[in-house]
Structure 1
């Protein structure tokens, strides 16, 4: 029997028994089959994510509880250090990163983003009663804390270079940076405007925002999925859920509860 004959016989046999290739995996179908969606976040990033006497709460949880309800599954929340979240997502340790992740051109090339959940423009906070620094440019030559591995860290570095230099000190969490600012080890802390607004609102005796507080280009926070065909249906389901929540007022109510006001946000991730 020749090779051609053998190959022909195999193809004929496959056709006879109705041979088909297995369908591509679908993340949304897998999640619905399991009845749960596994998430990762850093529970030390108020007002989005925080632990209150061991209980997870915050704006992120309130939003994602509603999204999971719309999808029809139970959310599983995991407290993961920020620097381990995106690498863990890539290797499939969880379905989605719900820590507020700043949308950047570099990240858009590598990940899929949900619709924005908040403004993420970088801003500055100082110790209450510090009258030596008022505007952002006053941090020139000062020591400024920021969470490591964040877009705010990169924006602070770039801004510091335009001022002739800023001593940037990195922290694993924003809480650690705030503690050092309160004890005088730092001159200022850089972070997203919503985080710093919440901080000053709850601790006005200790912290104050710069005026103006923001610097750099306007940016947004969103959640992150793997950038692959299998995740497209999950992204579409989250977009549909958030559109419904925006239309019926749930997004506005949750924003107002945690941030004190409502900001209308794009329906999809800008640039995606």
Structure 2
């Protein structure tokens, strides 16, 4: 009976360990360093930040996270998902950080913690090259425009359209490449997206697209984000420290210039977003 009792007690002890919360065994930074890998969620349809070319993942995020990985002493692995699945994927624990990058907004700050901003995210319009019917943002009134589903750019486009006489029809696209395809085919007159994105697209396909200036959106910024909890905080602190070092030594500016054509002056932190 003593042997049976000891066996049962052992099972109960194992059961107690299994039932104990495992998330607090180590914070997320410790877990990442222990595994030697930081897993990052993103959507690879958001050039120049993330895109696939000849089967290879390229873009600004690849280079920025490569530097972050060096600072943390870990390798970087990316998970590619449709944008409307990326934030749910973070909450489900499929990865530790979201690249995106993500427009820093009031609503998102309530739910997630953002890193230091890495680029300007002000929203502008992309049109077909030579389309004189859209010379300025307000010329989209009464026309059909588009933007990426579940994006801040879509919400800002909808808000802007609501201020125009007669409004405009806004179509939602699973990814921006589909929106650009419809724009090139003449099914819509413009796509609303962040200025860095559409400037890159217009530069790569100057015979097809042009940027409509000035931007119609409020001044906003892109950042990376993670869950807003105590376990995630040390990891985001470490990423912020890496980004601060990259800003100070010029690495971030060099990466911006490579992918945007210009360096971008961004604040150390955004505490009160304009949207």
Give the TM-score normalised by structure 2: 0.89
2:9 paired residue number: none
**Counterpart mapping for 1:96-115 below 5 A:** 96-115=97-116
Q: How far apart are residue 269 of structure 1 and its match?
A: 3.3
Displacement after TM superposition at 1:247 (Å): 1.1
How far apart are residue 220 of structure 1 and its match? 0.6
> Where in structure 1 do 4 or more consecutive aligned residues deviate above 6 Å?
none
CA contact (8 A) 1:239 1:268 kept: no
Following superposition, the deviation at residue 271 of structure 1 comes to 3.1
Question: Within 5 A, what are the aligned runs for 1:148-227?
Answer: 148-163=149-164, 164-212=166-214, 214-227=215-228
Distance (Å, rounded) in 2 between the aligned partners of 1:173 and 1:167: 18
How far is the alpha carbon of 1:181 from its aligned partner? Answer: 0.5
Cα displacement (A) at 1:24? 5.5
User: C-alpha separation between the residues in 1 aligned to 2:156 and 2:213?
Assistant: 18
Q: Is the 8 A contact 1:24 1:230 kept in 2?
A: no
Aligned-partner Cα distance in 1 for 2:174–2:35: 33
SS class of match (2:218): coil
- Displacement of 1:133 in angstroms is 1.2
Equivalent residues in 2 for 1:1-12 (5 A)? Answer: none
TM-score of the two chains, using structure 1 as the length reference: 0.90
Q: Secondary structure in 2 aligned to 1:200?
A: helix
Structure 2 match to 1:18: none
Q: Distance in 1 between matches of 2:30 and 2:83?
A: 28
The 8 Å contact of residues 222 and 269 in structure 1, kept in 2 or not, is answered as: no
- In structure 2, C-alpha distance between the alignment counterparts of 1:185 and 1:38, rounded to whole Å: 38
In structure 2, what is the Cα distance between the partners aligned to 1:239 and 1:72? 15
Give the number of equivalent residue pairs: 251
Tell me if structure 2 keeps the 8 A contact 1:146–1:168: yes
Whether the 8 Å contact between 1:143 and 1:169 is mirrored in structure 2 is yes
How far is 1:242 from its partner? 0.6
Q: Structure 1: which 5+ runs fail to align?
A: 1-20
Distance (whole Å) between structure 1 residues aligned to residue 242 and residue 189 of structure 2: 42
Counterpart CA distance in 2 for 1:109 and 1:167 is 30
